[in-house]
Amino acid sequence: MRVAILSDVHANIEALSACLAHAAARDAERFVCLGDSVGYGPDPRLVLGLVMSLPGLVAVRGNHDEAVLARERPMPPEVAEVVNWTRGQLSPAQRAFLAGLPYLVRDETVAYVHASAESPNRWEYIESSERAAACADAAERRLVFVGHVHIPRIYYETPGGRWREYSPEDGHAVPLSPRGRYVVNVGSVGQPRDGNSASCYVIHDRGRNTIVFHRVPYDYVRTARRIRERALPPRFAHRLAEGR
């Protein structure tokens, strides 16, 4: 079974639509959303409607999803401006969907979380092998998929017990050892920050035990125009072209 794993869509309908079409062409059967479907972008209602319709959906809560629900949460002024605007765009059913999302989901072999399984509701960033190891220990699974950082990365444990990391290549299948432990950051669909403007997501082939990172170009000029049309902070439009 092939599972398409997406994170940090950030209300970018053009990027999400491009990734879903790409995944469908590769026979993805189920979908996982690692949170932050909203925030920064101009189309939260369209994005949530599409996410909620995905077959076999497994979804967890991100910090922007939570910010839309919790008015008292402190945040930078530009981010707060978009969160407040987003709050008024969502339907009651969409707000209920966000409110019902768990922080962490485990199945028999895999864990899914937005930030880190070590403390899922504290929104810590996994940017080192040490933090990845702590996440893996807390997840109690050999394979953990995360988002939040917006940069694709694979952390893995060596046979000697040390943790290493590397940046995956677009379109290359990465075999997973059944005895290994991994923390995989799937990158960002709607706000990549690794200097590449193309969307990023992962297909996990559970039968072959492989993962493949995919970079998918999309019409970010259109998304940026829609951000400006909605009078949202222009910085969130500029960074789409830069992939930062």
Q: What is the pLDDT of residue 72?
A: 67
Q: How much is the average pLDDT of 38-50?
A: 97
Mean pLDDT rounded to a whole number for the chain: 95
- Does residue 185 surpass a pLDDT of 90? yes
Q: List domains and CATH numbers for the chain.
A: 2-242 (3.60.21.10)
Sorting pLDDT into bands at 50, 70 and 90, what band is 234?
A: very high
Q: What is the pLDDT of residue 60?
A: 98
Q: What is the pLDDT of residue 243?
A: 84
Q: How much is the average pLDDT of 10-24?
A: 98
- Does residue 100 surpass a pLDDT of 70? yes
Alpha carbons 148 and 139: distance in angstroms, whole number: 16
Give pLDDT tens digits for 189-221.
999 999 999 999 999 999 999 999 999 999 999
Alpha carbons 41 and 61: distance in angstroms, whole number: 17
Name the percent of the chain lying above pLDDT 70.
Answer: 99
Q: How much is the average pLDDT of 37-47?
A: 97
Residue at 133: amino acid letter: A
Sorting pLDDT into bands at 50, 70 and 90, what band is 186?
A: very high
- Does residue 71 surpass a pLDDT of 80? no
Q: Whole-model pTM above 0.85?
A: yes
For the chain, what is the largest distance between any 2 Cα atoms, rounded to a whole number of angstroms? 54
Pull the structure tokens for residue 3: 């599972």
* SS3 of 83-147: HHHHHCCCCHHHHHHHHCCCCEEECCCEEEECCCCCCCCCCCCCCCHHHHHHHHHHHCCCEEEEC
| H/E element, 213 | strand 210-216
